[in-house]
Amino acid sequence: MITEQSKWTKSEGWGSTNPGSLGKETQLVILFGSTENIREMNQFDFIKEVYPNAFLWGGSTAGEIFQTQVTDDSLIMTAIKFEKTDLKSICIEIESMKNSFEIGSHLGKNIDHNGLVHLFVLSDGLLINGSELVAGITQNLPANVTVTGGLCGDGDKFNETYVVCNGISKKGVVSALGLYGNNIKISYGSLGGWDPFGPERLITKSDSNILYEFDNKSALELYKKYLGDHAKELPASGLLFPLSIRLSESGEGVVRTILGIDEENQSMIFAGDVPEGSYARLMKANFDRLIDGASGAAKACESLTAREPDLAILISCVGRKMVLKQRIEEEVEAVKDVLGNKTALCGFYSYGEISPFNPSAKCEFHNQSMTITTISEL
């Protein structure tokens, strides 16, 4: 497996790395870019010209990861030539289905299971309930098929997100890319780095991923109180206080991030389920732990693979970027430190991450985490 990477910015165009040396042999080009760059597809023709046989696949982001750089308003491209691996993809419009679980089920059922090793999922970031999507996919796949991926982003605007499927950008779709063959080697890891604080609150009113009340009081009011002046920047500022949800007395907590607010209904829309009767605590960032988290995710990956992987796809939460700000690249560097210099890094800041916590756990939907998927060909 051979990769080559390139970055495009408005001011500098395609950067110093000259794209195109893999040429016709490229089967897959992964594209991550700002909403505008993906939506407009201005550079797509050039890419198609350079890699005439490649399948163009990717999405809009809240920040692009290129090597150890984190940029906004760019378009990054990773071209891959597989030696012994086949690809198949599927794309489905969200509106055509009743709910997120059905979309997941449809994807899981309709992707060819024969020889399938790994499924990489990219979804619209605003119109989906991530937990239900993941549940639908995993329940309809053979147990040995692994799943990772993420929800596309729209900077800190939470307005519109795009998925690139077969060279075309679309809003309101979910796409899955299947990797086939005996020689592909996938590993993954996911870690957070957020600390819960303050009292535990009982979720007394919610509907799937829409939260109304904690302890019989408006959840939105509570967030506004905590955010103070930043309340006007909701929903983006809500990412500073994600929720830790404990589903049962002894259950492990999951992290949920805010995707939107509804002033009229006094409700908040989360990227995943916030079930009634579960307990929630506000979380705050811990700088050191965020970076340790990224490094921990990378270590989880490393433990799965014997040698340095060829490519690592990093999907990290927009919330981390908002907190780490100028220090955001530190978490990418931490990953690079673990994986080594031979591994090409690409990725994006997302509205939600899909991955098991660790190799033995089942695939779950996360928020506020750094999720890493590494790919190698033996």
Partner 1 sequence: MYKIHSLLKRQLKKYFGENFTPDLKLKDFIESVDSAYKEFDSDRAMLERALELSSQELVQANTNMRTIFQAIPDLLFRLDKYGTILDYEGSQVNNFYFRDKNLRGKNIQDFSSNSIGEKFKAAINEVVLNNSIKTIEYNFEIENLVQHYEARLIPHNTDQIIVMIRNITDRKKTEEELNKYRNRLEEIVKERTIQLSNAKEQAEAANQAKSTFLSNMSHELRTPLNAIMGYTQILKKSSNIPQKEKEQLNVIIDSGKHLLSLINEILDLSTVEAKKEKLNKSVFNFSSFINEVVSSVKIMTSEKNLSLSYVELTPMPKMIVGDMKKIKQVLLNLLSNAVKYTVKGGVELRISASEKNSIEKSHMHTLSFEIHDTGIGISKDYLDEIFEPFTRVNNQQFIAEGIGLGLSISKGLIALMGGRIFVSSEVGKGSVFTFEIDIEKVEESTSSPKHDDEFEFISEPINKNILIVDDITTNQEMLIYALKPTGLQISTAFNGKETLEHLKNSVPDLILMDLLMPEMDGIDAVKKIRKDSLYKNVKILGISAAIADQQKVREFSLLCDDFISKPLNVNLLLSKIEKLLDIKFTSEDKNIASIGKTDQTEMPVNQSNPPRKILDQIIKKVNLGDFKGINQIAAALYTNPEYVEFTRLLEVMTKNFDEEGILKLCKE
Four-CA torsion 156, 368, 331, 301, nearest 10 degrees:
-130
Among 10, 24, 84, 225, binds partner 1 (CB under 8 A): 225
Among 174, 240, 271, 291, binds partner 1 (CB under 8 A): 240
Residues 261-300 that bind partner 1 (CB under 8 A): 282, 284
Cα separation, 343 vs 27, whole angstroms = 19
Any bridge partners for residue 376, and if so which? 185
Q: Do the beta carbons of residue 71 and residue 155 sit within 8 Å?
A: no
Among 101, 241, 279, 357, binds partner 1 (CB under 8 A): 241
The least CB distance from residue 196 to partner 1, in Å, is 11
CB nearer to partner 1: pick between 113 and 284: 284
Establish if 230 lies at the interface with partner 1 (CB under 8 A): yes
Neighbours of 156 (CB within 10 A): 18
What is the Cα 234 distance to its own chain's centre? 21
Residue 372, CA distances (Å) to 262, 264, 273, 294, 360 in order:
32, 38, 23, 9, 16
CB nearer to partner 1: pick between 40 and 215: 215
Residues 178-207 that bind partner 1 (CB under 8 A): 197-199
> Could you tell me which stretch among 36-44, 79-87, 93-101, 225-233 binds partner 1 (CB under 8 A)?
225-233
CB nearer to partner 1: pick between 230 and 299: 230
| Amino acid in the structure at residue 66 | F
Cα separation, 260 vs 42, whole angstroms = 29
* Site size with partner 1, rule: CB under 8 A: 15
Establish if 363 lies at the interface with partner 1 (CB under 8 A): no
Nearest partner of 351 among 325, 309, 322, judged by Cα: 322
Question: β-strand 194-207 against 210-214: which pairing, if any?
Answer: antiparallel
The least CB distance from residue 230 to partner 1, in Å, is 7
Establish if 228 lies at the interface with partner 1 (CB under 8 A): yes
Among 137, 323, 354, 370, binds partner 1 (CB under 8 A): 323
Which residues are at the interface with partner 1 (CB under 8 A)? Answer: 197-199, 225-228, 230, 240-241, 282, 284, 323, 325-326
